[in-house]
Amino acid sequence: GDTIYVPFLGEEGTLLTSEIYILGQVARPGKYTFPVMPNVLEAITQAGGGLPQASLRAVRILRGDMKKPEIIIANLEKFLETGDPKLIPQLKPGDTIYVPVLGDEGDLVTREEKTKNIINIIGEVRVPGSYPLTDPIPLLQAILMSGGPTFTAELSKIKIITNVQKVSPMKEYNVKEYDFNKYLDNADLKNNPMVYAGDTIVIPKYVFEGITLDREEPKSDIIYVLGEAVKPGTYQLKYNTNLWHILQLSGGPTSEAQIDEIKIVKGYGNTGYPKTLIVNMNDYMDKSDFTGLPKLQNGDTVILPKKSHFWRETVKFFSEIAIILGVVNLISK
C-alpha cells in the first residue's frame, strides 16, 4: 500500500540540502548548506560578502574531481557594472568558491587590469595588502584603510611608488618620500599627498642608528586621545572606563576644545565598530552626572575638535572613515 514519489530536481524542499565551500577573501569562509542551490553572488553574500582586499573580477568556481577540477571564472565586478545575469554562474552541489586577493588573480586578468583600480600598501601597517581604489585619496586615508600603522612604523620615511608611464614614457615608475609626522604634527599638507590607483605605499620599520627596533605592543587596554586635550596621547588602562575618566587622565579639554562634538571612533573589533559616536559633554556637565557616558574599549580613539575649520574637517574625515589611526603618539621621531 506504500506510495513512492520521486520529485523533480529543485522540488525536494528541505528534504535535500546541498553543500558548497566558500574560501578566500570573504568575511566568513567555510562550508555552507542550502536547501536550494544559489548562484555564486548569493553564496558569497551568505558568507558575509567580500573583504576590502577581495578581487571580485576573477572568482574561481572549482567543480568535480578536486585532483583535476573544472574551473569556472566569474567576473562579479563586471556584473555589478553591467547587470548582465550571464556573468553570474549557478552553483552545483559540492562546488568550491575561491575569492582571491586583489592583484593575485594570476593570468586571469592582465597587468593593466590588476593595477587599474587597486592600491598596494606594504610594510608596517596592521593589514598590508591590496585595496580597491577608483578615485584618488589622501595618504592618511590610505593608511587608515590598512588598519593604521604598527608600533614599529617609521612614518617620517614613507615612500610612494607611482606608475608614471603615461606621463613620461622614458620612465615607468617614480618614487617619492614623505615625512608623514609633519602632517600629523603641523598639518603640513605637502606630506599628506594624494595617492592614485596603481600606486604602492611602503611604510618602513623604525631604525635607530642602523638597528631595527622591535617594539612590543602594550598588554593592557589602550585609548588614544587626539586634538584639544591638555595632554593628548596614548593611555593604557587596566580597567573599564568611560569618556569622563579618559578626559581626566588627559588633563581635560583645552579652552579651544569644542566639547559639544567630541568624537569616539570605535576600535577594530569593538562593539559598534566601525561607527563613530558623537558626545555633547555639555549635557552631562550641566547635570554633573557622567555615569551615562559611553564606555571605552581597547583601541578606541577620542577626538576633541578645535574651534577652527581645519580641525572640523579633520574630525569630519575621521567620522566618515571610522577607522583607527593607530599609535601615532608612540612613534619616535
Q: pLDDT value at position 316?
A: 46
Best CA proximity match to 217, nearest among 163, 160, 298, 276: 298
Half-sphere exposure of 272 (CA within 13 A, CB side): 18
- Does position 3 have pLDDT exceeding 80, yes or no? no
The predicted pLDDT at position 309 comes to 44
pLDDT of residue 202: 93
Residue type, 259: I
The pLDDT score that the predictor gives to residue 8 is 58
Amino acid identity, position 123: G
Q: Which helix (H) or strand (E) holds 185?
A: helix 180-186
Q: Are 307 and 288 in contact (CB under 8 A)?
A: no
pLDDT of residue 175: 87
pLDDT digits over 248-267, tens only? 888 888 888 888 889 888 77
Specify the range with the lowest mean pLDDT, choosing from 17-31, 99-113, 204-218: 204-218
Mean predicted confidence (pLDDT) in 161-166: 66
- Greater confidence, 321 or 140? 140
| 95 touches 60 (CB < 8 A) | no
pTM of the entire predicted model? 0.44
* The pLDDT of residue 328: 37
Q: What is the pLDDT of residue 178?
A: 93
Q: What pLDDT does 160 receive?
A: 92
Strand partners, 50: 26
| pLDDT for the residue numbered 330 | 36
| Per-residue pLDDT, 313 | 46
pLDDT tier, 32 (very low <50, low <70, confident <90, very high otherwise): very high
